């Protein structure tokens, strides 16, 4: 369904812990994105990657890190520096990162703090 | 940067009525305006988009209109059905800015 897979579906983080969210796509898309969704806040961009081995900060990158070692994969690490990590995280991909292409979303990961 | 305002935040209509959701944007250079639908517990999906060289676009029961002078665009759903119930997000981007800026969403409820 959509060719983009996120795991796990639910994740719990202890204080001071780093956690990593997985995102894999088999659509052969160059661009990948991470969005954070909070109730009533829409979708806010954390990081995006236009091509392998390259990524840029979005609007709310503080406390997060990413890597893009393979075209298919764009994992997101929520670090202990992110003081309010509880949210629904959506990964997306598009053919190119020109802002005019259809985004294909994963099914999301709900992160909660213990 | 771009700022997208979306109204209303919630909308309740009777089945068969029309629904209209409005968005305004701040960056006059924006030229691409998609709408995404997110059903409860599901991923957002693109339902329609419009580019700045077009004033209106229709796809069956949904349509989008764009007023570049006023910097606003709207989603129109006619003959609403219960399966139209979802959160709808508008967004905007321009050619020099890679990314979409999303509105905060509208929860549409269609009552049978």
Residue A13, chain B, CB below 8 Å: the answer is no
* Per-residue pLDDT reduced to its tens digit, A26-51: 999 999 999 999 988 889 999 999 99
Calculate the average pLDDT of chain B.
Answer: 94
Q: Which of B106, B110, B39 is nearest to B74 (CA)?
A: B106
> If you measure CA to CA, which chain B residue comes closest to A98?
B98
**Facing B104 at nearest CB: one of A41, A45, A97:** A41
Q: Is B79 helix (H, G, I), strand (E, B) or coil?
A: coil
* Per-residue pLDDT reduced to its tens digit, A71-81: 999 999 999 98
pLDDT for residue B97? 66
pLDDT for residue A39? 87
**Facing B43 at nearest CB: one of A33, A42, A106:** A106
**How close is the nearest chain B Cα to the Cα of A86, in Å?**
17
* Per-residue pLDDT reduced to its tens digit, A88-114: 999 999 987 776 788 999 999 999 988
CA distances from B77 to A103, B17, B68, B108 (A): 22, 9, 21, 11
């Amino acid at each position: 369904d959509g060719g983009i897979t996120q795991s796990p579906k639910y994740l719990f983080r202890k204080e001071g812990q780093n956690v990593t969210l997985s995102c894999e796509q088999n659509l052969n898309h160059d661009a990948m994105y991470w969005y954070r969704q909070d109730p009533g806040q829409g979708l806010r961009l954390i990081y995006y990657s236009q091509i392998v081995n390259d990524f840029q900060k979005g609007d709310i990158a503080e406390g997060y890190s990413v890597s893009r070692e393979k075209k298919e994969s764009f994992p997101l690490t929520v670090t202990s520096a992110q003081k309010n990590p509880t949210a629904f995280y959506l990964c997306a991909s598009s053919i190119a990162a020109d802002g005019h292409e259809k985004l294909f979303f994963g099914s999301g990961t709900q992160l909660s703090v213990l | 940067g771009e700022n997208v305002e979306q109204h209303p935040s919630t909308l309740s209509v009777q089945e068969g009525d029309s629904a209209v959701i409005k968005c305004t944007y701040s960056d006059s250079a924006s030229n691409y305006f998609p709408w995404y639908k997110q059903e409860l517990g599901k991923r957002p999906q693109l339902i329609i988009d419009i580019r700045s060289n077009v004033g209106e676009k229709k796809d069956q029961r949904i349509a989008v209109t764009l007023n570049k002078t006023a910097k606003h665009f709207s989603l129109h759903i006619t003959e609403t059905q219960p399966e139209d119930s979802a959160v709808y997000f508008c967004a905007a981007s321009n050619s020099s800015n890679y990314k979409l800026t999303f509105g905060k969403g509208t929860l549409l409820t269609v009552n049978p």
